[in-house]
Structure 1
């Protein structure tokens, strides 16, 4: 859980979640430690936009979903003064964003945010099956002209892939970082003949260069 300390108020929420598109309900949880903070809020921030108020609560078991968010898709639970859950059902790719939990008395304090990344459906998707998420991170590059691809046994795959929509710039170094994730059924990960490869293609203004990393599960 990510904790944000604000004048003695601790707002605690998970830093990230990676559900699969159409998997069902996603529950974003948040706790704070001041029972005088009767008001709690959920905000959403998508890339290139300001924060949008999704829902708010003025006390235990009381909540309101703000327009234009659909009440049939979003719900806010407030089982205690100190806790709240934002439920999104079903979670879809368009719901990927950073969700901020906040609480207030006379002043509003924010948590560090939960980055929700809804992964594309995998070709192996089966209800009730365990899955593995492989993460590929490319960092320290400039400029930000980059593409990320995944292969399984030298064959391109797109199902289950979720890549950052744009590379993120480090304000201190000026270099960029991008992250891509591949979600597969655990049984396919544990098949030793399967080899997963992440390929990062860079363009420096003159030509393309590729860097790749391979990972597989070796049973010993």
Structure 2
């Protein structure tokens, strides 16, 4: 069966410590791994960032504090790095998810109004 695998399952760290979480999947057509944060204060899942193929993107609200890297291909490894924990602020449940990247081309000029 196809699955997503995240390690370690639990971490206990202190402020200023660094953390690395690992994620892999076995779904042949998937080429994207996304990382989410769920804090105790706000149970909504917040997108931290994602790796599409080997291209990393971090959302603006997490930029400078969190990094994503690695390879989102099947049986490869993608990573979430937190170089310096901020204590309670970063105390949360972290999830990774695998997906197929969706790419769309949006025409820059759909139609022109006649003068």
TM-score, normalization by structure 1: 0.41
**Structure with greater strand percent:** 1
Stretches of structure 1 that go unaligned for 5 or more consecutive residues are: 1-7, 107-220
Q: 1:12 aligns with which of 5, 9, 17?
A: 5
Q: 2:99 aligns with which of 96, 104, 125?
A: 104
Aligned residue-pair number: 96
Q: Deviations over 1:38-87 (max 9, x none)?
A: 01100001123300000012112x010012112x2111011462321100
Please provide the CA RMSD for this pair.
Answer: 1.7
Stretches of structure 2 that go unaligned for 5 or more consecutive residues are: 102-115
Q: 1:40 aligns with which of 16, 33, 55?
A: 33
Q: Deviations over 1:97-142 (max 9, x none)?
A: 0000000128xxxxxxxxxxxxxxxxxxxxxxxxxxxxxxxxxxxx
| Number of the residue aligned with 1:26 | 19
Distance 1:19 1:9 in 2: 31
Task: Indicate the structure whose relative CO is greater, using CA pairs within 8 Å and at least 6 residues apart.
Answer: 2
Which is higher, the Rg of structure 1 or of structure 2?
Answer: 1
Runs ≥4 in structure 1, deviation > 3 angstroms? Answer: none
Shift in Å, 1:31: 1.4
